[in-house]
Amino acid sequence: MTATRDLGPLIPRNRDAHPPAYDPDYKTSVFRSPHLPLISMESTPSEETGPRFGHARLGPLDNNLILNWTKGAAPAVGERILMHGRVLDENARPVPDTLIEIWQANAGGRYRHIKDTYFAPLDPNFGGCGRTITDENGCYEFLTIRPGAYPWPNRGNEWRPMHVHVSVFGHSFGQRLITQMYFEGDPLIARCPIANTVKDRGQLDRLVAPLDLGRARPMDFLAYKFDIVLRGRRQTMFENKLEGM
Amino acid sequence: MVQKLDTLTETPSQTAGPYVHIGTAPTYAGLGGIYEHEIGQTTYQDGAEGEVIEITGTVTDGTGWVLRDAVIEVWQADASGRFAGQEGADPKVTGWARVCADPESGEWRLGTIKPGPVPMRGGGWQAPHIVLWIVARGINTGLQSRIYFEDEANGDDPVLARIEQRPRVDTLIAKKTGDGRYRFDIRLQGAGETVFFDM
Ligand SMILES: [Fe+3]
């Protein structure tokens, strides 16, 4: 943990940029969504501060999902990919030193989780989670395998598109965000009720990572670029104005 | 046409899904040992100043069913009201932890240090509280809430004061059940729905 200082209130969340809590096409949201409106107010120091994580706590393979489960002994099965990008805030400033955690299914679409009983086999060489901390420019990267699509119970015959779950901290607890990265060209995205909880088409497109051949390594891995924007700070020269002025 | 603003829009949220534990609490999911240091186990270390307390509760959906898959992140000040990293903050208090509902019963449990009152920017104080961020399958954007304490002076808290329907304030107050023990149940929807914030 490192020093936190008062950088000002957070920009209020634009709720139209996010999925509504209630979306009947995603049935679980029907009984897990608050019915009453959220109570909106300006952030306080409790939302403006947040936990910070040092690079020292991370192991050298933590952002390598191909090797981290076997501690480097044997690689995971699947199409090798580099997932990389940059974390910025709404003020278009890079967010350095922020923790990113990801989790995903294996190449067959199966999660290594006590509750996943899908009959695609587990890969003995794949765990399915990774974490890293952004560098001074807000950049991050993970080496992983392309996750498989998988079926889930919702409306008859529902399949999740290939996706990686992404959790980002920022520097304030009020910036906390979990999202999902999809892959360019996947025909299941348009049919997925979870992806389509995001109602603004332009916003949904921002969750779809393009193939980035510029970062691919020949004879080794493809690359996908996934940039992330977190809430910014409200900046004003009049923050300390006197009451009534 | 007008000039283009140089601000960006936040990346949209997506549900954490049923397997959120793999990425956030790997030992819980059955991936123990994948990381040398798993984060979020506790908000404090031995020797932290202040009272050690335990808060237990459940998260229920609109039908009254207890969620087995909820993950709650907590963030709080130390006993003197300072957040980790701030000048004078207790170095033994990180103030942040992850709490997973029990996969069988859905009960969650947080052992922590009771936070102190937190000063507001421009004067005034917030009553002792713990900030919550709740994620689970079916929750499209993580829910912000707060735990206050029955045995603290909450009357002047500026956040609680903003809640028009006074009986709803009660949904944010942990009930004392014993020495250093509190109960705090979260209701996502329906009767007694917990207050969630946008702040
Ligand atoms: Fe998933």
Question: Chain-wide mean pLDDT for chain A?
Answer: 94
pTM above 0.80, yes or no: yes
Structure tokens at B26: 């790997």
| Cβ atoms of B124 and B97 closer than 8 Å | no
Find the CATH number of the domain harbouring B60: 2.60.130.10
User: Choosing from A84, A110, A146, A163, which is the catalytic residue?
Assistant: A163
| Cβ atoms of A147 and A129 closer than 8 Å | no
Number of domains chain A contains: 1
Round to whole Å and give the CA distance between B73 and B142.
Answer: 10
* Interface pTM, i.e. ipTM: 0.96
| Cβ atoms of B194 and B169 closer than 8 Å | no
Q: Kindly state whether residue B7 falls inside one of the protein's structural domains.
A: no
Round to whole Å and give the CA distance between A146 and A164.
Answer: 9
Q: Can you tell me which residue has the tokens 């534990």?
A: B21
Which of B94, B122, B97 minimizes the C-alpha distance to B110? B97
Which of B89, B85, B9, B16 minimizes the C-alpha distance to B49? B89
Q: Are strands A208-209 and A177-183 parallel, antiparallel or unpaired?
A: parallel
Find the CATH number of the domain harbouring A179: 2.60.130.10
Q: Kindly state whether residue A117 falls inside one of the protein's structural domains.
A: yes
Which of B28, B177, B50 minimizes the C-alpha distance to B112? B50
Q: Kindly state whether residue B156 falls inside one of the protein's structural domains.
A: yes
Q: Kindly state whether residue A35 falls inside one of the protein's structural domains.
A: no
* Mean pLDDT of the region A193-198: 98
Q: Kindly state whether residue A105 falls inside one of the protein's structural domains.
A: yes
Which of A103, A94, A89 minimizes the C-alpha distance to A131? A103
Q: Kindly state whether residue B102 falls inside one of the protein's structural domains.
A: yes
Could you report the per-residue pLDDT of B18-51, keeping only the tens digit for each?
999 999 999 999 999 999 999 999 999 999 999 9
Cβ-defined contact of B135 to A178 (cutoff 8 Å): yes
Round to whole Å and give the CA distance between A128 and B34.
Answer: 10
In the A/B pair of chains, how many CB contacts fall below 8 A?
Answer: 274
| A113 chain-B contacts, CB cut-off 8 A | 18-19, 21-22, 29-30
Q: Kindly state whether residue A4 falls inside one of the protein's structural domains.
A: no
Pinpoint the alpha helices (H) of chain A: 28-32, 45-48, 201-205
Q: Kindly state whether residue A128 falls inside one of the protein's structural domains.
A: yes
Number of domains chain B contains: 1
Which of B117, B189, B191 minimizes the C-alpha distance to B160? B117
Could you report the per-residue pLDDT of B150-180, keeping only the tens digit for each?
999 999 999 999 999 999 999 999 999 999 9
With pLDDT > 70 as the criterion, what percentage of chain A qualifies? 93
**Amino acid occupying residue A165:** H
Residue in A40, A88, A198 closest to B8 by CB = A88
Look up the domain containing B80 and give its range: 15-187
Q: Kindly state whether residue B136 falls inside one of the protein's structural domains.
A: yes
Look up the domain containing A224 and give its range: 25-30+50-229
pLDDT at position A245 is 43
Cβ-defined contact of B94 to A51 (cutoff 8 Å): yes
- Per-residue pLDDT band for A177 (boundaries 50, 70, 90) equals very high
pLDDT at position A126 is 98
Round to whole Å and give the CA distance between A139 and B65.
Answer: 41
Could you report the per-residue pLDDT of A26-51, keeping only the tens digit for each?
999 999 999 999 999 999 999 999 99
Structure tokens at A57: 């706590």
How far, in Å, are A58, A60, B23 from residue A63 at the CA level? Answer: 9, 7, 12
Q: Kindly state whether residue A239 falls inside one of the protein's structural domains.
A: no
**Gap from A103 CA to chain B (nearest CA, Å):** 5
* Mean pLDDT of the region A8-34: 97
- Per-residue pLDDT band for B121 (boundaries 50, 70, 90) equals confident
Round to whole Å and give the CA distance between A22 and A25.
Answer: 9
